[in-house]
Structure 1
Amino acid sequence: MYDTGFDAYRQSEIQVKASTASPAQLVLMLLDGLLDELARAEGHLQARNFERKGESVKKSMRILGGLDASLDPSKGGPLAENLHQLYAYCGRRLFKSSLRNDLEGIRHVAALMRNIRDGWAGLAQRAG
């Protein structure tokens, strides 16, 4: 399941942080994981390691799905709907970029998600 002992340690560290995190901090953790995985996908694509690129894109799409599933339209209203649309767009863009080995598409999604992450970080800071 884990490539190295460090991976197992990192996973357990993440689980501990998640167990005590606020909802905003959990979203930040997901966004950080997404950005890390997109960076890996970019690196794998540049190295022409297409199998590992595909794995990173698949993980990224699962994280996007998790972010989308965490939305509550009854509480979030138009903001939740806009984020839903953005996550869906990013998923489609990642899928197409992976099929075409399109580095710019992956970078575009990463830039969008960095902007979203910055917004959540500001929210978490004000709430914390």
Structure 2
Amino acid sequence: MHKAANAYMQTQVTTTTPGHLVVMLYDGAITFLEQAKGEIEAKNFAKKGILISQALDIIAELDGSLNADKGGEIARNLHKLYVYCSTRLLQANLKMDIAMVDEVIGILSSFRSAFSEISKNPAHQAPPRAAAYYAR
């Protein structure tokens, strides 16, 4: 069953638009952080740490995908906000602070909403290069 789920996710990632892929990344980070809040409440320190680390990995991926040359000031501001979110999550992890996690969820949710709206624009609906490669 796990293999089937991984195959489905791989297909979904390689056949979606870049904008939708960004939305999926935000969804993943938010999901991990919501789960981490439950683990903080349950005092399951190890699982909380793993979930926050997974969200941090997604934020690092989003940050690493920024193009400062093409994105200009928007990319620089997003970078600063990603660094801020990462810092807050590291603090939340150490302090077991649900409020800090909620703060980051709020920021990521705002980004998710914005990218969801942007990706609905037909000009941003071009298939990713990987999808074109596999369509041959």
Using structure 1 for the length normalisation, give the TM-score. 0.91
The number of residue pairs the alignment matches comes to 123
Are residue 116 (structure 1) and residue 111 (structure 2) matched?
Answer: yes
Cα distance in 2 between the residues matched to 1:26 and 1:94? 23
Cα distance in 2 between the residues matched to 1:92 and 1:8? 34
Are residue 24 (structure 1) and residue 19 (structure 2) matched?
Answer: yes
| Aligned-residue offset at 1:9 | 3.5
Structure 2 portions without partners, runs of 5+:
126-136
Are residue 125 (structure 1) and residue 120 (structure 2) matched?
Answer: yes
| Aligned-residue offset at 1:79 | 0.5
Cα distance in 2 between the residues matched to 1:14 and 1:79? 29
Amino acid of the structure 1 residue aligned with 2:12: K
For residue 71 of structure 1, give the secondary structure of its aligned residue in structure 2.
coil
Cα distance in 2 between the residues matched to 1:11 and 1:64? 21
Query: RMSD between aligned alpha carbons?
Result: 1.1
| Aligned-residue offset at 1:113 | 0.3
- Trace 1:1-128 onto structure 2 (pairs within 5 A): 5=1, 7-127=2-122, 128=125
| Aligned-residue offset at 1:8 | 4.1
Using structure 2 for the length normalisation, give the TM-score. 0.86
Deviations 1:71-108 (A, max 9, x none): 11111111111110010100000000110000100011
Cα distance in 2 between the residues matched to 1:109 and 1:16? 29
For residue 120 of structure 2, give the secondary structure of its aligned residue in structure 1.
helix
Cα distance in 1 between the residues matched to 2:8 and 2:27? 14
Structure with higher Rg: it is: 2
Cα distance in 1 between the residues matched to 2:66 and 2:103? 22
| Aligned-residue offset at 1:117 | 0.2
Ranked by relative contact order (alpha carbons within 8 Å, sequence separation 6 or more), the top structure is: 2
